[in-house]
Structure 1
Amino acid sequence: MILAFSIGFLEVSIVDLLDIALVSFLLFQVYNLMRGSVAVRIFVGFLSLYLIYLVVRAAEMELLSAILGQFMGVGVIAAIILFQQEIRKFLLLLGKTTSFNRDNNFLSNLPWRKRQAGFELDITPLIEAAKSLGGTNTGALIVISKSSELRFYAESGDRIDALVSKRLLISVFNKTSPLHDGALIIHKGRIVAARCVLPVTEKDVPAQFGLRHRAAIGMSETTDTIILVVSEETGQLSLARNGTIYHNLSNQEIRSKIKEYLVEDDKKKDKSKQEKPESEEVVQ
Structure 2
Amino acid sequence: MIFLFKIGFLDVSWVDLVDIGLVSILLFQVYKLIRGSIAVNIFLGILALYLMYLIVLAAQMELLATILGQFMGVGVIAMIVLFQPEIRKFLLVIGRGTEFRENFLKTIGNWKSDYNDDFDVQQIIDASKTLKASKTGALIVFSRDTELKFYAETGDPVDAEVSKRLLLTIFNKTTPLHDGAVIIYKGRIKAARCVLPVSENDHLPAHFGLRHRAAVGMSENTDTLVLAISEETGRLILARNGKYLRALKLKQVEHKILQYLHNQEPANWEEVEEEEEVSDLTPAK
Q: Paired residue for 1:174?
A: 172
Asked if structure 2 preserves the Cα contact closer than 8 Å seen for 1:237 and 1:250, the reply is: no
Asked if structure 1 preserves the Cα contact closer than 8 Å seen for 2:113 and 2:261, the reply is: no
1:90-239 alignment to 2 at 5 Å? 90-103=90-103, 108=107, 115-120=111-116, 121-204=119-202, 205-239=204-238
User: Which stretch shows the higher mean deviation, 86-95 or 240-249?
Assistant: 240-249
Offset at 1:2? 2.5
Q: Secondary structure at the residue paired with 1:253? A: helix
Q: Paired residue for 1:275?
A: none
Offset at 1:92? 1.1
Q: Paired residue for 2:270?
A: none
Q: Secondary structure at the residue paired with 2:176? A: coil
Change (3 A) 1:8 1:247: same
User: Which stretch shows the higher mean deviation, 142-151 or 91-100?
Assistant: 91-100
When the two structures are superposed, what TM-score results if normalisation uses the length of structure 2? Answer: 0.86
Change (3 A) 1:128 1:95: same
The one-letter code sitting in structure 1 at the alignment partner of 2:140 is I
Moved over 4 A (4+): 265-268
User: Which stretch shows the higher mean deviation, 192-201 or 8-17?
Assistant: 8-17
Q: Paired residue for 1:47?
A: 47
Offset at 1:265? 4.8
The one-letter code sitting in structure 1 at the alignment partner of 2:129 is K
Please give the alpha-carbon distance, in whole angstroms, between the structure 2 residues aligned to 1:35 and 1:262.
Answer: 30
Asked if structure 2 preserves the Cα contact closer than 8 Å seen for 1:133 and 1:230, the reply is: yes
Unaligned runs of 5+ in 1: 269-284
Asked if structure 2 preserves the Cα contact closer than 8 Å seen for 1:138 and 1:174, the reply is: yes
Offset at 1:55? 2.7
Please give the alpha-carbon distance, in whole angstroms, between the structure 2 residues aligned to 1:52 and 1:147.
Answer: 47
Offset at 1:193? 0.6
Change (3 A) 1:104 1:244: closer
Q: Secondary structure at the residue paired with 1:67? A: helix
Q: Paired residue for 1:281?
A: none
Please give the alpha-carbon distance, in whole angstroms, between the structure 2 residues aligned to 1:267 and 1:208.
Answer: 29
Q: Secondary structure at the residue paired with 2:103? A: coil
Offset at 1:11? 1.4
User: Which stretch shows the higher mean deviation, 52-61 or 189-198?
Assistant: 52-61
Q: Paired residue for 2:23?
A: 23
The one-letter code sitting in structure 2 at the alignment partner of 1:108 is T
When the two structures are superposed, what TM-score results if normalisation uses the length of structure 1? Answer: 0.86
Q: Secondary structure at the residue paired with 2:225? A: strand
The answer as to 2:64 corresponding to 1:68 is no
Offset at 1:100? 4.4
Q: Deviations over 1:129-183 (max 9, x none)?
A: 0111111111101111112111110111111111111111111111111111101
Number of residues of Structure 1 aligned to a counterpart in Structure 2: 264
Please give the alpha-carbon distance, in whole angstroms, between the structure 1 residues aligned to 2:209 and 2:120.
Answer: 28
The answer as to 2:59 corresponding to 1:59 is yes
The one-letter code sitting in structure 2 at the alignment partner of 1:244 is K
Please give the alpha-carbon distance, in whole angstroms, between the structure 2 residues aligned to 1:266 and 1:243.
Answer: 15
Q: Secondary structure at the residue paired with 2:169? A: helix
Q: Secondary structure at the residue paired with 1:176? A: coil
The one-letter code sitting in structure 2 at the alignment partner of 1:170 is L
Unaligned runs of 5+ in 2: 268-285
Q: Secondary structure at the residue paired with 1:213? A: helix
Please give the alpha-carbon distance, in whole angstroms, between the structure 2 residues aligned to 1:135 and 1:196.
Answer: 24
Q: Secondary structure at the residue paired with 1:129? A: helix
Q: Secondary structure at the residue paired with 2:86? A: helix
Asked if structure 2 preserves the Cα contact closer than 8 Å seen for 1:236 and 1:249, the reply is: no
